[in-house]
Chain A
Amino acid sequence: MKKFTRRDFLKLSAVGLAASGAVVMAGRIIAIPPDLKLPDPYPELPEQVPTIPKQGSGARFFNEHQYTLVATLAALFIPTDEAPGATEANVVEYIDNMVSLSKKSQSQYTQGLKWIDRVSERKYGKDFLSLRVEEQIGLMRFADNAAALRRRPVANIVQRLDRKIESVWDDLTGVGEGSPFFHMLREDVFYGYYSNPVSWKVVGYYGPPQPVGYPDYSEPPSNAHYAGVVRAADDTTCRSCHYDQTKKASHRNRMECTGCHTSHFDPGGKG
């Protein structure tokens, strides 16, 4: 039997619309190229083959398949080149930890990862991890666009109908229901990578803004920061006042802080 394609679906929808009297509009819908793609934001650079970490024994929520799948996807979002990527920053562990803390994320991730494999099965006949890297990237582009197409602004009723048809088609093929997952995953991978000191060296960041602040903010940037001369890029500083969850730290406690803020305090408390 001939495979039912997206184009057939569009035609069929058009027939349905024509039958209900919207002949002119339906004609215009068919005229819109069905495989409308959004332009790539940047000229393509050669993609690196990602290196995938083996599953650590300490995974909190993901099973082995999920763990490897997230790690693989993360490595495609932020590949390793001459500089470390998501793999080196252990983004999968960050996400695993984050997901383990929230019931909502757990169901989103369980569903979303199933969706990735389902789309992969439908397009290539095998699960995501069995694909070649180019196929994996292709599939991610597809997922990316599916969500973007759904969000793109529409100017008139024809475009609105076209988008509706697209989304119905996506839902029928199981793409649409999961496409927000792609963007959620992108966000989580970026948060995971860029909160890791490994990435700070790559982009030239000094670490979290507190507790040290930026004493050199009026000077030109210098590389000294990275050596930790100006600030210690380490969140163990100031544990005494910022992390004591047992004491109910109040405004008053800030006065007792003997760590990082000593120099900024007026010990007499007058003013």
Chain B
Amino acid sequence: MKKKVTACVIGSGAGGGVVAKELAEKGISVVVLEAGRRLNPLQDYTTALRDWERAGREDHLFSVPEMDRVTFGRPGMSRPYEALGVGGTTLRYLAYMVRLTPEDFRTYSMDGIGADWPIMYEDLARHYRKVETEMQVSGLHGDPWSLWKEPFPQPPFEMSYRDSILKRGFDKLGLRLWPVPVARLSRPFRGRPACVNCGECEHGCMTGAKSSIDVTYIAKAEATGKVEVRPESRVTRIAVDPRGRARGVIYFDRNGSEHMQEADIIILSAGSVQSPRLLLNSKSALFPDGLANSSGLVGKYFMQHVSIVARAIFPERIDSFRGFSGGLISKDHAKTSPGNNFARGWVYELSSGVRGPAQMALSLPGWGASHKDRMRKTFGHMAGLAMVGEQLPEEKNRIELDPKVKDAYGMPVPRMTLGLSENDRSMLEAMKKHSREVLHSAGATEIELAYHRLGASSHNMGGCRMGKEPKTSVLNSYCQCHDVPNLFVIDASCFVTGGTANPSLTIMAIATRAAGYIADQGKKGGVG
């Protein structure tokens, strides 16, 4: 048994890392349990090696095989991208810092689909701002789609040559593009260097120019002296006391010994796949259907974004592996439009397509002289579009426990079931058609669409949605479980709808808001 602390946070990513730092700064002692290891950017990341593409594959760096297993409730699904390590999936995110729009919180009132959030955009606005400052987001203020006009903490990056090629297509079709806000330093900041535009954010940032949670929030949290991060701690269950309050967290350390960490408040921030799984695995006499699951909705309304990546070959050399693999964004299709046969919409994010030469070689079929020739004609000539579309929440899309498969600790693994609704399908069709048009207009000679792969996304959202009614939701608007007042789920699980924004920034804003609530409640004499 470990010494009791005030707060125990499970997970150190966009949710857990932020909560830990915010609570610590209010004087609350926190233990953070992280399943992955603590990576050392200079030693562990491989982007300066000749064979960086092989050495830096995600399965080498960001996975823990004995706990990574996910099974699927229907055929044709692929495993979701997550990263394990102190900093969570932000270790390999592209650091897009896109806010949800006011409409995203009210899809039911506006369009009669999905559900309304129990909070409005206005409830999050100042927390968005705070996170953008902590993360030193670089960007250009005053984009044509949003109402907020404050400058970003860091100036924007120049437009990449690749983006200028792709922009021709958008210009011809009269679509607007704007630099995407991104958590990379364009100027040095507090000992961290400016970004050199190496573009391999997904392989981990060697220099620390990308604001991942480990070099921002966790570094600050640990500097307070109030936070202890325990890497390689694999949580299996949350224990409850006879009164039905969360008592502590049961986990295995790196040597395989089992521990119980008691805490007054338990914060679950393991992501939309693992958080519902942990609740469902924490069955007890008081909670026979899983912890905090009186609504039966734990794991339900799981969402990802519907997405297509379009890759195009251009006749001229672009050398699009240079620079950040995103850059400009277009939100002209993000809202429901009367001309469409679907509700909601998608955003365009300009992209490099395939980046390194080995990845390119592996993505082209075949081998031999013809393959080599094809490489010479393709490499450096590719650019692409990534589309992020809103998948409507549906109860049947869910995370549940696999009835048969167990992980190395004897706990059932998560089973993911995800399907496309009629609306999602119509949107995907429109994306295919429209992206071809954009790329043709930009001058592409060959276009290849990588279709939506169900499950294969890092944008995992929902599963413990927030709401006003305990019957139709798992959490209240502060991510506090309706059933268990001293248990919070602070990650993308709480999302009610997915919008078209990359989820990290919203997770962090919600975490900031929830941490403020927890601290206030603590002052008033304890949570719950």
Contact = CB atoms under 8 A, between A and B. Distances in A.
A245 B373 CA distance: 39
A204 interface: yes
Contact of A195 (B191, B319, B358): B358
Contacts of A254: 42, 191-193, 207-208
Interface string B91-124: 0000000000000000000000000000000000
B194 A77 contact: no
Q: How large is the interface on A (under 10, 10 to 19, 20 to 34, 35 or more residues)?
A: 35 or more
A203 B380 contact: yes
A217 B49 contact: no
Contacts of B54: 191, 195
B365 interface: yes
A76 B366 CA distance: 12
A104 interface: no
Contact of B197 (A48, A83, A213): A213
A221 B320 CA distance: 9
A271 B206 CA distance: 20
A22 interface: no
A270 B43 CA distance: 25
Contacts of A252: 191
B126 interface: no
Contacts of A212: 196, 198
A190 B361 contact: yes
A251 B223 CA distance: 13
Interface in B351-376: 356-358, 360-362, 364-376
Which of B40, B48, B195, B362 is most buried by chain A, counting CB atoms within 10 A of its CB?
B48
Interface residues of B, number: 66
Contacts of B379: 203-205
A27 interface: no
Contact of A79 (B191, B199, B206, B368): B368
Interface stretch (A4-12, A59-67, A170-178, A261-269): A261-269
Interface in A231-271: 235, 237-238, 241-242, 245, 248-255, 261, 264-266, 269-271
A195 B193 CA distance: 27
A184 B314 CA distance: 30
Interface in A133-174: 137, 140, 144
B318 interface: yes
Nearest to B375: A203
Contacts of A193: 361
B200 interface: yes
Contacts of B319: 204, 206, 221
Interface string B372-400: 11111001100000000000000000000
Contacts of A78: 367-368, 371-372
B197 A249 contact: no
Interface string B319-360: 101111000000000000000000000000000000011101
A269 B190 contact: yes
B196 A221 contact: no
B188 A242 contact: no
A271 B216 CA distance: 14
Which of B52, B189, B190, B207 is most buried by chain A, counting CB atoms within 10 A of its CB?
B207
B191 A250 contact: no
Contacts of A248: 40, 43
Contact of A249 (B43, B52, B318, B356): B43
Contacts, number: 206
A3 to B, nearest CB: 30
A206 B50 CA distance: 11
B196 A253 contact: no
B49 A221 contact: no
A206 B287 CA distance: 58
Contacts of A209: 47-48, 52, 198-200, 321
Contacts of B191: 251-252, 254-255, 266, 269, 271
B520 to A, nearest CB: 31
B375 A261 contact: no
A249 B366 contact: no
B358 A77 contact: no
Contacts of A242: 42, 48, 206
Contact of B323 (A44, A204, A218, A245): A218
A228 to B, nearest CB: 15
A218 B365 contact: no
Contacts of B317: 204, 221
A196 interface: yes
A189 B364 CA distance: 14
B370 A205 contact: no
A245 B196 CA distance: 23
A53 to B, nearest CB: 18
A216 interface: yes
B454 to A, nearest CB: 14
Given A200-B357, A210-B198, A221 B380 contact: yes
B208 to A, nearest CB: 6
A241 B319 CA distance: 28
Interface stretch (A13-21, A35-43, A106-114, A117-125): A35-43
B160 interface: yes
B53 A210 contact: no
A44 B368 CA distance: 10
Contacts of B374: 42
A248 B38 CA distance: 13
A154 B159 CA distance: 45
Given A210-B47, A214-B199, A265-B193, A47 B207 contact: no
B196 A264 contact: yes
B145 interface: no
Interface string A75-89: 011110101010000
Given A208-B48, A218-B158, A265-B188, A213 B368 contact: no
14 contacts: A46-B369, A48-B369, A78-B367, A79-B369, A137-B368, A195-B54, A203-B379, A209-B199, A210-B48, A213-B196, A221-B380, A264-B209, A265-B193, A266-B188
Among all A-B residue pairs, the 6 with the closest Cβ atoms: A213-B196, A217-B323, A266-B188, A195-B51, A209-B198, A214-B322
Given A81-B372, A208-B50, A242-B42, 6 more contacts: A81-B369, A190-B361, A191-B51, A209-B198, A211-B48, A249-B40
